Amino acid sequence: MTSFLNSSIGKKFLMSLSGLFLISFLLVHLIVNSMILFDPTGVLFNNAAHFMGTNPIIRIVEPVLAIGFILHIFYAGLLTLQNQWARPVGYAKQNSANSSKWASRNMFVLGSLVFIFLVIHISNFFWKIKFTGSELLEQGSVDGVENAFLLVTTFFINWWWIVIVYVVGAVVLGIHLTHAFWAAFQTLGLSDSRWRKRLEIVGWVYTIIVAGGFALIPLWVKISSLIN
């Protein structure tokens, strides 16, 4: 088992498994966040965020999520370094252009940009909700349900640059996902030449929904504040 996990395929296996877990998380996260679009009073989003923050099952999943992120990032770095050492010169230009798309050749750079976005994002909301608190969370809080809606929307309404960071973050995440989705199934042995095309299509649909949804929320909040 240890020798499998130390092999290149073992590392790719763990990356794909943790990647699929993160892919599922993103969909759930988007569903909760989309309540911001459907209910401008914020009650729906606040209750959903509170449920996610206090539900015992979700509380068990949270550290698993953190471990998933760490594993994914750690193995991505390790595999990229191993590939560099094994092939310091790189393939001829015409080979790499034919054999793989731009996203697949830049997964480490794309992943690193998503990581930078994630650090900004966690410090914006998660850190305040879980650890430091904020006056905004207290305002209009009902029955111990913190006003996460006010915190999130105040960020987007007050700072254009935050809106831009979130839209760019969603686009970069989307490009990362176009390759990640089918590649994860392929590495886990769950795809063949027939399924590859189908998975690529499902991957594109998933990516458009997830990246489009995450980009739409800050834009929607900012633009509606300018109209109203």
Chain residues binding ligand HEM by CB under 6 A are 26, 29, 33, 49, 52-53, 65, 114, 118, 121, 125-126, 129-130, 148, 152, 166, 169-170, 173, 214, 217-218
In angstroms, the CA 134 to CA 131 distance is 9
Q: Which is nearer to ligand HEM, 11 or 222 (CB)?
A: 222
Q: How far is the CB of 29 from ligand HEM (least distance, A)?
A: 5
In angstroms, the CA 164 to CA 219 distance is 9
Q: Which is nearer to ligand HEM, 35 or 191 (CB)?
A: 35
Cβ contact 169:29 at 8 Å = no
Handedness of CA 163, 164, 167, 173 (dihedral sign): negative
Let me know if 92 is exposed, middle or buried by CB neighbors in 10 A (0-12, 13-18, 19+): exposed
Q: φ and ψ at 34, to 5 degrees?
A: -65, -15
Q: How far is the CB of 170 from ligand HEM (least distance, A)?
A: 6
Residue number with the shortest CB distance to ligand HEM?
Answer: 217
Q: Which is nearer to ligand HEM, 126 or 159 (CB)?
A: 126
Q: Which is nearer to ligand HEM, 71 or 152 (CB)?
A: 152
Q: Which is nearer to ligand HEM, 85 or 131 (CB)?
A: 131
Q: Helix, strand, or coil here: 140?
A: coil
Q: How far is the CB of 121 from ligand HEM (least distance, A)?
A: 5
In angstroms, the CA 201 to CA 206 distance is 9
Q: How far is the CB of 224 from ligand HEM (least distance, A)?
A: 14
